[in-house]
Amino acid sequence: MKYVLTIIVGCLCYTAAGLAQNVDLATLPGRDTVQLTIYNSEDLTLAREVRHITFKQGLNSLQFSWAGTLIDPTSVEVRFKSHADELELLDSTFPHDKREMVYWNIESKFDGVAEVEISYFTSGLSWSADYVVISDPDEKQLRIDSFIRVYNNSGEEYEDAQVRLVVGTINLVEPIAQLAQSAMDQFYGLELHFSRAEDTRNFETLARARRALDKAEAAGSVFGGGEGGRQEREKQIIKEGLSEYFIYTIEGTETIRNGWSKRMRSFGAGEVAFKVQYRYRPAEYGDQMVKMFLLRNDTESKLGTTPLPDGTVQVFRDNGRDGLSFLGQQYVKYVPIGEMIELNLGPDAQVIHQLVRQKSWRDDFWFHRAGADIYFSPTEGHRIEIDDNVVGWWDHEQWVERIRNYSGKEVNVEIRRAFDGHVEYASSLDPTLYDFRTPQITATIPAGEIKDLAYQINRAQGTLAQQYNVTIKKSE
């Protein structure tokens, strides 16, 4: 086990300037506890470690160094958890000739041990979510298991750490990994820049995150009991909302060695009802009909206790022969509570979609005459001269979306096809408008049947095109 982070207490009464040459090693207090709050939207972890340090009355010097880690030097803070009114931080010094080190001069009014919390931001720790979905053979119900996986590439061993994972997006103006690569004196110009109010978002955001976490901690809701020993049941992962974030707290403590990652089940739900839908949405899924599993992140679906963080979903089906069939894999973005979870399984060889244009024709022609400012239409009784030119007309197209269902069960399809221009969409299929240019139709195709979903497109062209949208015309 290596301890990269070291803390050295020097019982010295020198000026900070003299410390660089005159550090006496007095003690090397180990960590008592460490807590990691890991964000998944940024390469950022807030580490808080508690150590017991012996102070002598008068001026005490603490040296804190973090060689070989990815700690942001601008974020290192010390706080006195006990004897707070008897200890005072006088100054912090980042020596010019030693990167990854800070000296603290602390005035103590007592002789004895105090509990000190050192916090800092580090990069190299991260976490991700993933999901495993297994549907029953009939595709009526499924089981979903959510996992979280914590990665430690920070260069530091964290033993028996309390681990908290933050779901949500925060703003950083500089990556922590970049800050970690810089010596403190390189921040001189940067701080001048940040002294302007509008450029302080970085520190304010992080400070806000720290304050929010402090508040949750003070309420006693975040920390689980320390549990460094053996565990014979699955650890619970406690989920709590906090401001715009959700915090997952892993029960007890975890040891995540440098270079390792660890995956644990976050939650699971069985017998979750879901819908199968076949969708043709070229703008979203390409020019193919795809099979979707649809469920909602709500209590009715035995979910809904937490938003679902971004992560990969692997979808299987119980093949009814004592095994699984792989159906697909998809990266899903953050799913809020109450939102739909849409799993795209790709095309299904058993449900065939064909888009067929059956007929095209034109009518209602309008003509322009050279030198005239008006248009002429034979249907309006206007006389058309031989030199008049077509400048406006209606195009008509009859289409069918042919669905062949060989799946052995009834399927629901939804077709969402966008059209450019000034378009009328006529159909007896009760179409609705998804947006100004995208009609949507739905249908149920019984097992073993072929269904032609027919519609007609009328498109105003040339001078007759006065809109850029689709209007629905219900037809018999």
Partner 1 sequence: MRWTHYPLTLTLLLLMLLCATPTAQARIKLVTLPLRERVEIQLEHEQVTLVEEERIIPLAAGVNEIDFSWNNTAINKESIQFRAVSHPEQIKVLSVSYPPNENALVWCVSSSGDLSAKVRISYIIGGLQKSFIYKALASHDEKTLTLRQYLRLHNFSNEEYGNSGVWLGFGDYFQKQIGLNETKELLSARFDEIPIVKSYTCDPAEFDYLDRGKNQLMVPMHYVIKNTKEAGLGRFPLQPGKVRIFQDDGSGGNAFIGEDWGPFTPLDDQMRLYLGVAKDVVVKRTIKKNEQHRLLGNLFNQEIILKYEIENFKDKPVTLDIREALPYVRNESIGSRDRAVQWRLDNEQMHTDWRDTDPTRVDADTVMFHVPLPARSGEGKAEKLEFEIHLWIENEW
Chain residues that interact with partner 1, rule: CB under 8 A = 1, 130, 132, 159, 228-235, 255, 257-265, 312, 314, 316, 319, 321, 323-329, 346, 349-350, 352, 356-363, 365, 367, 378, 384-390, 393, 395, 397-398, 400, 402, 404, 406, 450, 452
What's the min distance (Å) between Cβ of 458 and partner 1? Answer: 13
Two tokens at 298? Answer: 């709500």
Q: Are strands 311-318 and 125-135 parallel, antiparallel or unpaired?
A: parallel
Q: Which is nearer to partner 1, 64 or 316 (CB)?
A: 316
Q: Which is nearer to partner 1, 171 or 350 (CB)?
A: 350
Alpha carbon distance 337, 332 (integer Å): 14
Q: Which is nearer to partner 1, 143 or 201 (CB)?
A: 143
Are 154 and 45 in contact, with CB atoms under 8 Å apart?
A: yes
Q: Which is nearer to partner 1, 106 or 250 (CB)?
A: 250
Burial letters 184-201, b for 16+ CB under 10 A, else e: beebeeeeeebeeeeeee
What's the min distance (Å) between Cβ of 36 and partner 1? Answer: 16
What's the min distance (Å) between Cβ of 345 and partner 1? Answer: 10
Three-state DSSP at 218 gives: helix
Alpha carbon distance 343, 396 (integer Å): 36
What's the min distance (Å) between Cβ of 388 and partner 1? Answer: 3
What's the min distance (Å) between Cβ of 397 and partner 1? Answer: 7
Q: Which is nearer to partner 1, 99 or 149 (CB)?
A: 149
What's the min distance (Å) between Cβ of 318 and partner 1? Answer: 11
Q: Which is nearer to partner 1, 220 or 408 (CB)?
A: 408
Q: Which is nearer to partner 1, 92 or 261 (CB)?
A: 261
What's the min distance (Å) between Cβ of 463 and partner 1? Answer: 14
CB < 8 Å & 24+ apart, contacts of 108-111: 108/55, 108/56, 108/57, 108/58, 108/59, 108/60, 108/83, 109/57, 110/55, 110/57, 110/83, 110/86, 111/55, 111/56, 111/57
Within 10 A of 217 (CB to CB), how many other CB atoms are there?
15
> Quick one: 313 exposed, middle or buried, by C-beta within 10 A (0-12, 13-18, 19+)?
buried
Q: Which residues contact 98 (CB under 8 A, 6 or more apart)?
A: 20, 65
What's the min distance (Å) between Cβ of 284 and partner 1? Answer: 20
What's the min distance (Å) between Cβ of 263 and partner 1? Answer: 4
Beta bridge partners of 411: 445
As a whole number of angstroms, the longest Cα–Cα distance in the chain is: 110
Two tokens at 439? Answer: 């009609």
Three-state DSSP at 115 gives: strand
Q: Which is nearer to partner 1, 115 or 159 (CB)?
A: 159
Q: Which is nearer to partner 1, 220 or 381 (CB)?
A: 381
Two tokens at 306? Answer: 């937490």
Alpha carbon distance 244, 424 (integer Å): 44
